[in-house]
A and B are shown apart, each in its own frame.
Chain A
Amino acid sequence: MGVSSMKRLVTGLVLLLVGVLMLAPLVWLIVQSFTSEKAALGLPPGWLPKPFTVDNFRSIDGLIPFGRMALNSLIVAVISTAGSMLVSVLAGYAFSRLSFRGRDGLLLVMLSALMVPVQTTIIPIFVLMRHLGLVDHLAALWLPALINVFAIFFFRQYFNTIPRELDEAARIDGASHLWILFRVIVPLSGPALAAMTILAFEASWNNYFGPLIFLTNPKNMTLPIGLVTLQAGQSGASIVVFAAITAVVVPVLAVFLVFQRSFVASIASSGLRG
């Protein structure tokens, strides 16, 4: 065996170990949540669900309205993602294709907002939501998420790479800007739309800071804050919490496995362009 193939073998083994270590906590979590309450959390740690049970999942709904919370998460994620994509596509088109006074200045102002952390705006937004009576409403979460400056900029950059001859041809045929945007530009922007949609959905689905501040009634909570509320209500370790975390995590991982390629591509593309 040569030196270089030896090196390759060592690299492979080290990376295999790293991969196993990364997965181990998740495997342990999932195994525990399918283990009967008496046998779970034993030492040495169990790596097989023996005896197997799904009872732990049945107990979740008695403690938190899990289904309702999942629905809330979905509502917020869908509205904020779809809404912000629409708003951003329109703005991206304006910045890429239309000329009007103050365009470049406005773009610059918006871009500088990328440096503004959520924490700076959260207090005034909380005060505003209180005035509007939207505290403890899902709208307090999705309304501010409709503005997505990064997506606007990303779409503008992407639209700029689409040849202008295409929309000029459509314009000569009498097409309106809306028609050009949705029939010419958007269909050619699949990868950019996919990337921004995935990132926006993920950000909303996993958001903890917003729900922590705005939501108080368990019926109105989204999953992340619901999980933490469930755990806080238990004295000591409770296997129900494991089941609830599993119920939140496994569907997400399954969706990720299906869309892995575009998900990873979206992260990479946002990095290399941004």
Chain B
Amino acid sequence: MTATIPLDRAKRTAPDRPRHVRRQEWAGYLFLSPALLLFLVFVAGPVVAAFVLAFYQWDLLTPARFNGLGNFSKMFHDPLLYKALGNTFIFTAASMVTHLVGGLLLALGVNRLKNRFLSYFVRTSLFFPFVISWAAVALLWKYVLDPTFGPGTYYLHKLGITPPNWFVDPSWALPAIIGIDFWHTIGFTFVIMLAGLQTVPKQLVEAARTDGAGEWQILWRITLPMMSPTIFFAAVVTFIGAFQIFDPIQIITPQGGPDNSTVSIVMYLYQQGFESFQVGYASAVSLLILVVTMFVTLLQFWGSRRWVYQA
């Protein structure tokens, strides 16, 4: 693509553009028009509309009222919003650590397996939960952790652990959802890590081994640095997915859990927008989600230049 740019520019500035170039211009717009139209209606337009709505007070029934910065100042003094942000950051941090470390360890382990059947079995069973919808996963785990008949509860007792009443205890509801999320999405991180591991040049590892490097040294000095683009990608994707966590929270704890202990930021947006019909306020919250997502994504790209190996 880069090679063609100067050529086009030259064509564009020429006073008499040849007919086939003009025809190509039209073809370009024509081919792009469905995507462009849909993009305007369902992406760009709604983003602009969200910005506008954030300055209004609206319950969807009575006419909207201009509210200036009211929604934003309300956000600053909203203890529930702070609670939701706190829950979301805890969930995101836990999710990133568990997924990145877990996914990497599992990939390193599976990569060593010589037995083909075992390798297939582990890869498949790790990935199975990811294929299933959150709705099914959330309902299933609600049952697995049920205090009376749940097998999770039963076997924890067998191991001598008395499990808490997960979704009733304010300090355990969010950790339980963190665990369920791990079960559901670890397969995704694992697959990404395993693919990244295949990109590490074998000669490099062999050369280090002949030079007398130990396994540990090879891991830290060769494998991980060579995998850094993969780890970086997995970090960005895990962050975005975790920050926007909603499905299991709404399904398992429809009221937001004991003491609002599971309300995530998106759950809060849903409660405000679609349960209390505070459309303006919910739009302001949605802008906060947008800003944080963009900020962290850009920050990660910026930070990655310091530690990601560029081939």
Contact = CB atoms under 8 A, between A and B. Distances in A.
A147 B35 contact: yes
Contacts of A26: 128-129, 140
B53 A113 contact: no
B139 A227 contact: yes
Contacts of B131: 202, 252-253, 256, 263
Nearest to A269: B195
Contacts of A20: 125
A121 B42 contact: yes
Interface of A: 8, 11-12, 14-16, 18-20, 22-26, 28-29, 41-45, 86-88, 90-91, 93-96, 98-101, 103-104, 106, 109-110, 113, 115-128, 130, 143-144, 146-147, 149, 152, 160, 177, 181, 202, 205-206, 208-209, 212-213, 223-225, 227-228, 231-232, 237, 241-242, 245, 248-249, 252-253, 256-257, 260, 263-264, 267-269, 271-272, 274
A90 B286 contact: no
Contact of B237 (A8, A177, A271): A271
A124 B53 contact: yes
12 contacts: A14-B109, A94-B27, A94-B29, A98-B25, A113-B44, A119-B286, A121-B42, A146-B38, A202-B131, A205-B133, A206-B132, A253-B128
Interface stretch (B67-75, B144-152, B217-225): B144-152
A73 B126 CA distance: 25
A115 B297 contact: yes
A273 to B, nearest CB: 10
Nearest to A28: B151
- Most A C-beta atoms less than 10 A away, residue of B31, B123, B274: B31
A23 B139 CA distance: 16
A124 to B, nearest CB: 4
Given A123-B279, A206-B133, A245-B136, A94 B49 contact: no
Nearest to B134: A208
Nearest to A208: B247
Given A177-B31, A208-B134, 16 more contacts: A8-B112, A8-B113, A16-B118, A22-B128, A23-B128, A26-B140, A94-B27, A119-B246, A119-B269, A121-B43, A123-B49, A130-B60, A208-B250, A263-B131, A272-B199, A272-B233
Contacts of B53: 123-124, 127
In which size bucket is the chain B interface?
A: 35 or more
Interface in B28-50: 28-29, 31-32, 34-36, 38-39, 41-47, 49-50
Nearest to B294: A115
Contact of B128 (A93, A120, A224, A256): A256
Given A147-B35, A237-B149, A125 B42 contact: yes
A18 B106 contact: yes
Nearest to B126: A22
B1 A117 contact: no
